[in-house]
């Protein structure tokens, strides 16, 4: 603000100075001009006056002294400043004449009078004989001039020259040395000519003083100047004021714009700058207004968006918080509901069971034997119902991590009969046939009977529910895997089966294959979840295989000797799966969870250990197939655990997979680790590694064959043996498939488009790691001796496609996998 004001002031001052200067300059020039003009004017006046005076003098002279006097010029005389030349010229001419002029008192008197009358100094000079001009008479010096002046005669008697009539020239009376021309006068010299020949007899001169005119001119110009000063000052002041006002007017919009910009800079939104002028400032203001408006619009839009997003985010957060809270509340409510519900259901059920028992006793006492079987049925059904309710409570306990195992040793057969008699009515309901296949020597199992019974009951009831007029088979087998004994109980139905997606969701609580299933088939959806949880609690697994439309097979596998372990919600021990057991030593429970989820899908049981010490203890106790080991743990760290494991003769054979964030493979391998994986865990890789170190089951097989039917056959064959199968239609695709991970084994056809088996082999063997992977050729091609020879050095085995014995193939593959695994340095 200060700046703009100072600019206005400065501009006004500068403009004022310029105006004043210009005016002064103009005034000065004007004055100068006026002075010169005044001089000219005065000269002009003086000459006019002189001319007039001379005219008067002429007439007077003519009257008094009739003669040929010609005092007045024919034309008005014009004086110029400093013009002395005529006098000189005249004087010179006069001096050249030899006519004496004489004065007399009358002439002098006449001159004085004329002087007085006209205000002009009049003199008459006569040409002296010595060529000097002598002033004979002068109006103001008449008194001091010597000798009388006489009017010159028209003709000098001595010379015969004509002289002015009545003028008597006094000889020798002329006064010398006074005939100078004053600087202050303008003097007119006038020749007096002889009447006869017109020669110059003398000179008459009239002087008019310069001083009065000059003084008058000076006074006049001073007056003009004095008159001009206030005018000039007034004009300067006025114009300055006007300019200042104008400048202010011009600066106001600029100031407004400046103000607006300042406010904008300070983050305020200024009002629109109101400038109505159509000049550049107006355009600037307009542009500024548009810019401000645009900016404001943009800013408002951004602010709106930010506000919107913030609100959305807040709402989402709130919603999430509420949802979480609601979920927690709902979960608590669910548990509480289940507990209460169980209690409320059990109270009347107690009465039913109790009274049926009383009645049974009474009936026996009173010999009412025909009533006893029915009373027993009531009693049995009540007991079973109670069992179901208890199991619901149990599930909520499992979910809450508060489930205990009541382990006892009991005969498997007895338990089976119990379950079968209970399930029989349900099986019969949909006209299904139940086939039980159990060896006589199945023996006993040490487990939680209630939970096992409930698990089997669930599987059978599930099968009954989804099968109509079909067969449900319960097969029980004893197995031995890795030195542990297992009981495998499978329930196979010929029901509706499930899609892979449905299988995926199968074991989630309160979820059935889909919502419509619940409506159609009823049930709580808890059965399979309970079964799975119970199986896991007892160190077993539940797996499912299903083909939509053909039926499902659920397999429950339990160790014959279930070991009780303290169980918490975040530390669920699974003592061994049927296809191997992995001990995870890691202090991060999330890691246990991740590994468990990853490996359980593969039928591999996962046992968690939270510290190195616990891990070592469990390793001695359980002899797992594979151990995964973290490095950074409280207490004994991973390196120590690894040293201890490798130093223990009983444990040193167990492959140890380092699973850690620390990338120090060299140390790991030097201490005896079999494999080194860094976190974050690549789950596929983990599965492959664990599978490789596990002796049972399949590995990763790559099937390269252009015949789709053949590929399908291989795939089914291998998948049934737990192989992971990838496929390729020719050698090129086969090489591409290698990029996604090196398989454990390759099944190769020979005759294929684009790149045949031979070409693939040579390309593959050239690859890094390619020489270690066994290749099995399966071909319908009749091999020449040469081809056979070539193949024998590059492939492990050649099978004839047309006469392929699947069992032999699988056995061979298993053998090769074992060799390859050993070859890779499995301890």
Partner 1 sequence: MKILLVEDNELNRDMLSRRLTRRGYEVVVAEDGERGLDLVRSERPDLVLMDMSLPGIDGWEATRRLRADPSIAGTRVIALTAHAMAGDRERALEAGCDDYDTKPVEMNRLLLKITTLLGANP
Q: What CA–CA distance (Å, rounded) separates 376 from 359?
A: 10
Q: Which of 108, 112, 353, 447 binds partner 1 (CB under 8 A)?
A: 353
Q: State the nearest-atom distance from the C-beta of 346 to partner 1, in Å.
A: 6
For partner 1, give the closer residue by CB, 262 or 568.
568
Torsion of CA 511, 512, 515, 516, to 10 degrees: -170
Q: State the nearest-atom distance from the C-beta of 457 to partner 1, in Å.
A: 19
Helix (H, G, I), strand (E, B) or coil at 138: strand
479 contacts partner 1 (rule: CB under 8 A):
no
Instruction: Answer whether 676's CB lies under 8 Å from 628's CB.
Output: no
For partner 1, give the closer residue by CB, 325 or 408.
408
For partner 1, give the closer residue by CB, 10 or 343.
343
341 contacts partner 1 (rule: CB under 8 A):
no
Instruction: Answer whether 582's CB lies under 8 Å from 624's CB.
Output: yes
Q: State the nearest-atom distance from the C-beta of 424 to partner 1, in Å.
A: 25
Q: Considering only CA atoms, give the Rg of the chain.
A: 71
393 contacts partner 1 (rule: CB under 8 A):
yes
Q: State the nearest-atom distance from the C-beta of 444 to partner 1, in Å.
A: 23
The backbone torsions φ and ψ at residue 546, rounded to the nearest 5 degrees and listed phi first, read -150, 145
The interface mask with partner 1, positions 292-331, x = CB under 8 A, is ----------------------------------------
Q: Which of 349, 363, 732, 795 binds partner 1 (CB under 8 A)?
A: 349
As given in the structure block, the two tokens for residue 709 are 């039917």
Q: Is 748 exposed, middle or buried (0-12, 13-18, 19+ CB in 10 A)?
A: buried
350 contacts partner 1 (rule: CB under 8 A):
yes
Q: Which of 315, 364, 374, 404 binds partner 1 (CB under 8 A)?
A: 404
As given in the structure block, the two tokens for residue 602 are 């593969």
Q: Is 345 exposed, middle or buried (0-12, 13-18, 19+ CB in 10 A)?
A: middle
Q: State the nearest-atom distance from the C-beta of 355 to partner 1, in Å.
A: 6
With CB under 8 A as the rule, give the number of residues binding partner 1.
20
Strand partners, 194: none
Instruction: Answer whether 747's CB lies under 8 Å from 760's CB.
Output: no
For partner 1, give the closer residue by CB, 404 or 650.
404
Q: Which stretch binds partner 1 (CB under 8 A): 187-195, 338-346, 543-551, 614-622?
A: 338-346
Q: Is 307 exposed, middle or buried (0-12, 13-18, 19+ CB in 10 A)?
A: exposed
442 contacts partner 1 (rule: CB under 8 A):
no
For partner 1, give the closer residue by CB, 59 or 384.
384
Q: Which of 379, 397, 533, 711 binds partner 1 (CB under 8 A)?
A: 397
For partner 1, give the closer residue by CB, 418 or 664.
418
For partner 1, give the closer residue by CB, 212 or 354.
354
Q: What CA–CA distance (Å, rounded) separates 736 from 571?
A: 42
Instruction: Answer whether 428's CB lies under 8 Å from 457's CB.
Output: no
Q: Which of 351, 368, 411, 751 binds partner 1 (CB under 8 A)?
A: 351
Q: State the nearest-atom distance from the C-beta of 608 to partner 1, in Å.
A: 21
Q: What CA–CA distance (Å, rounded) separates 689 from 405?
A: 33
Helix (H, G, I), strand (E, B) or coil at 285: helix
For partner 1, give the closer residue by CB, 6 or 350.
350
For partner 1, give the closer residue by CB, 251 or 385.
385
Cis peptide before 560 (omega within 30 of 0): no
335 contacts partner 1 (rule: CB under 8 A):
no
365 sits in the region (left: phi over 0; alpha: psi -120 to 50; else beta) called alpha
379 contacts partner 1 (rule: CB under 8 A):
no
The backbone torsions φ and ψ at residue 203, rounded to the nearest 5 degrees and listed phi first, read -135, 140
Distance of CA 397 to the CA centre of its chain: 51
358 contacts partner 1 (rule: CB under 8 A):
yes
Q: State the nearest-atom distance from the C-beta of 526 to partner 1, in Å.
A: 18
Beta-sheet pairing, 775-779 with 745-748: parallel
Q: What CA–CA distance (Å, rounded) separates 191 from 424?
A: 179
Beta-sheet pairing, 444-448 with 407-411: antiparallel
Instruction: Answer whether 149's CB lies under 8 Å from 137's CB.
Output: yes
For partner 1, give the closer residue by CB, 50 or 389.
389
Strand partners, 777: 748, 798
Q: State the nearest-atom distance from the C-beta of 358 to partner 1, in Å.
A: 6
Q: Which of 30, 216, 261, 386 binds partner 1 (CB under 8 A)?
A: 386
Q: Which stretch binds partner 1 (CB under 8 A): 167-175, 340-348, 508-516, 611-619?
A: 340-348
Q: What CA–CA distance (Å, rounded) separates 91 from 710?
A: 156
451 contacts partner 1 (rule: CB under 8 A):
no
Q: State the nearest-atom distance from the C-beta of 362 to partner 1, in Å.
A: 9
537 contacts partner 1 (rule: CB under 8 A):
no
The interface mask with partner 1, positions 33-72, x = CB under 8 A, is ----------------------------------------
355 contacts partner 1 (rule: CB under 8 A):
yes
Q: Which stretch binds partner 1 (CB under 8 A): 90-98, 134-142, 339-347, 680-688?
A: 339-347
Q: What CA–CA distance (Å, rounded) separates 631 from 668?
A: 10
The backbone torsions φ and ψ at residue 696, rounded to the nearest 5 degrees and listed phi first, read -85, 165
Helix (H, G, I), strand (E, B) or coil at 122: strand
347 contacts partner 1 (rule: CB under 8 A):
yes
Q: Which of 263, 346, 695, 790 binds partner 1 (CB under 8 A)?
A: 346
339 contacts partner 1 (rule: CB under 8 A):
yes
For partner 1, give the closer residue by CB, 357 or 418.
357
As given in the structure block, the two tokens for residue 194 are 């002889």
Which residues in 573-603 are b (16+ Cβ under 10 Å) and which e? bbbbbbbbbbbbbbbeeebbebbbebbbebb
402 contacts partner 1 (rule: CB under 8 A):
yes
Q: What CA–CA distance (Å, rounded) separates 715 from 507?
A: 26
Q: Which stretch binds partner 1 (CB under 8 A): 46-54, 67-75, 343-351, 802-810?
A: 343-351
532 contacts partner 1 (rule: CB under 8 A):
no
Q: Which of 354, 443, 549, 753 binds partner 1 (CB under 8 A)?
A: 354
- Torsion sign over Cα 20, 26, 28, 30: negative
Q: State the nearest-atom distance from the C-beta of 369 to partner 1, in Å.
A: 19
Q: State the alpha helices, DSSP H only, in 194-279.
A: 211-265
For partner 1, give the closer residue by CB, 567 or 755.
567
564 contacts partner 1 (rule: CB under 8 A):
no
Spatial CB neighbours of 464, under 8 Å, sequence gap ≥ 6: 423, 426, 427, 429, 430, 432, 472, 493
As given in the structure block, the two tokens for residue 426 are 């349900």
Q: Which stretch binds partner 1 (CB under 8 A): 230-238, 349-357, 787-795, 811-819?
A: 349-357
For partner 1, give the closer residue by CB, 349 or 810.
349
Q: Which of 343, 429, 740, 815 binds partner 1 (CB under 8 A)?
A: 343
Q: State the nearest-atom distance from the C-beta of 583 to partner 1, in Å.
A: 27
The DSSP 8-state label assigned to residue 97 in this structure reads -
357 contacts partner 1 (rule: CB under 8 A):
yes
Q: Which stretch binds partner 1 (CB under 8 A): 348-356, 602-610, 620-628, 811-819?
A: 348-356
Q: What CA–CA distance (Å, rounded) separates 422 from 487?
A: 21
Residues within the interface to partner 1 (CB under 8 A): 339, 343, 346-351, 353-355, 357-358, 361, 386, 390, 393, 397, 402, 404
């Amino acid at each position: 603000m200060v700046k703009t004001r100072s600019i206005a002031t400065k501009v006004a001052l500068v403009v004022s100075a310029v105006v004043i200067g210009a005016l002064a300059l103009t005034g000065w020039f004007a004055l100068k001009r006026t002075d010169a003009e005044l001089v000219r004017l005065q000269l002009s006046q003086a000459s006019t006056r002189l001319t007039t005076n001379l005219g008067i003098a002429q007439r007077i002279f003519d009257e008094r002294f009739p003669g040929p006097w010609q005092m007045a010029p024919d034309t008005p005389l014009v004086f110029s400043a400093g013009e002395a030349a005529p006098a000189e010229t005249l004087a010179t001419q006069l001096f050249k004449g030899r006519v004496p002029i004489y004065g007399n008192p009358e002439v002098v008197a006449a001159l004085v009078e004329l002087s007085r009358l006209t205000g002009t100094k009049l003199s008459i000079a006569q040409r002296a004989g010595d060529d000097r001009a002598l002033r004979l008479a002068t109006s103001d010096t008449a008194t001091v001039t010597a000798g009388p002046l006489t009017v010159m005669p028209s003709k000098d008697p001595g010379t015969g020259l004509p002289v002015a009539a009545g003028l008597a020239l006094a000889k020798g009376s002329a006064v010398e040395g006074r005939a100078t021309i004053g600087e202050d006068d303008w003097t007119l010299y006038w020749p007096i000519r002889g009447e006869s020949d017109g020669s110059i007899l003398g000179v008459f001169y009239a002087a008019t003083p310069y001083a009065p005119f000059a003084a008058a001119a000076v006074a006049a110009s001073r007056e003009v100047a004095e008159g001009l000063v206030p005018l000039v000052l007034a004009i300067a002041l006025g114009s300055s004021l006007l300019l200042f006002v104008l400048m202010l007017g011009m600066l106001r919009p600029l100031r407004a714009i400046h103000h607006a910009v300042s406010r904008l800079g300070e983050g305020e939104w200024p009002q629109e700058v109101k400038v109505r002028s159509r000049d550049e400032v107006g355009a600037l203001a307009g542009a500024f207004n548009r810019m401000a408006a645009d900016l404001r619009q943009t800013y408002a839009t951004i602010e709106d968006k930010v506000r919107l997003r913030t609100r959305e985010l807040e709402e989402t957060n709130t919603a999430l918080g509420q949802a979480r809270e609601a979920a927690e509340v709902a979960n608590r409510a669910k548990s509480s509901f289940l507990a209460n519900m169980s209690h409320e259901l059990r109270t009347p059920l107690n009465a039913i069971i109790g009274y049926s028992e009383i009645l049974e006793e009474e009936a026996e006492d009173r010999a009412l034997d025909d009533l006893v079987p029915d009373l027993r049925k009531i009693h049995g059904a009540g007991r079973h119902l109670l069992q179901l309710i208890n199991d619901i409570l149990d599930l909520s306990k499992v979910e809450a991590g508060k489930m205990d195992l009541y382990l006892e040793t009991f005969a498997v057969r007895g338990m089976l009969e119990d379950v079968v008699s209970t399930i029989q009515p349900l099986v019969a309901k949909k006209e299904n046939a139940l086939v039980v296949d159990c060896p006589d020597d199945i023996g006993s199992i040490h487990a939680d009977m209630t939970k096992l019974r409930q698990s089997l009951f669930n599987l059978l009831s599930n099968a009954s529910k989804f099968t109509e007029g079909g067969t449900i088979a319960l097969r029980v087998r004893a197995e031995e895997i890795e030195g542990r004994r297992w009981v495998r109980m499978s329930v196979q139905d010929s029901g509706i089966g499930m899609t892979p997606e449905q299988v995926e969701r199968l074991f989630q609580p309160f979820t059935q294959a889909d919502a419509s299933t619940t409506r159609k088939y009823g049930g709580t959806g808890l059965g399979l979840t309970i079964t799975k949880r119970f199986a896991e609690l007892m160190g077993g697994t539940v797996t499912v295989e299903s083909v939509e439309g053909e039926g499902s097979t659920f397999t429950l596998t339990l160790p014959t000797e279930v070991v009780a372990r303290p169980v918490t919600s975040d530390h669920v021990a699974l003592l061994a799966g049927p296809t191997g057991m992995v001990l995870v030593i890691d202090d991060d429970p999330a890691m246990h969870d991740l590994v468990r989820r990853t490996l359980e899908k593969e039928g591999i049981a996962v046992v968690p250990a939270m510290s190195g010490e616990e891990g070592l203890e469990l390793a001695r106790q359980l002899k797992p197939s594979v151990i995964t080991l973290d490095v950074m743990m409280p207490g004994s760290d991973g390196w120590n655990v690894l040293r201890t494991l490798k130093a223990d003769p009983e444990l040193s054979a167990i492959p140890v997979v380092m699973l850690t964030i620390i990338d120090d493979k060299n140390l790991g391998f030097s201490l005896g680790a079999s494999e080194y994986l860094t976190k974050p865990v690549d789950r596929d890789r983990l599965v492959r590694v664990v599978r490789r170190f596990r002796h049972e089951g399949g590995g990763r097989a790559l099937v390269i064959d252009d015949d789709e039917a053949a590929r399908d056959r291989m795939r089914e064959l291998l998948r049934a043996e737990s192989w992971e199968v990838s496929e390729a239609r020719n050698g090129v695709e086969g090489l591409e498939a290698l990029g996604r991970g090196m398989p454990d084994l390759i099944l190769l056809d020979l005759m294929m488009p684009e790149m045949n088996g031979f070409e693939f082999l040579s390309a593959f063997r050239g690859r890094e790691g390619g020489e270690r992977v066994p290749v099995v050729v399966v071909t319908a091609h009749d091999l020449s001796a040469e081809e056979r020879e070539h193949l024998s050095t590059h492939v492990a085995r050649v099978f004839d496609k047309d006469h392929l014995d699947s069992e032999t193939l699988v056995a061979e593959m298993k053998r090769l996998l074992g060799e390859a695994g050993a070859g890779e340095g499995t301890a």
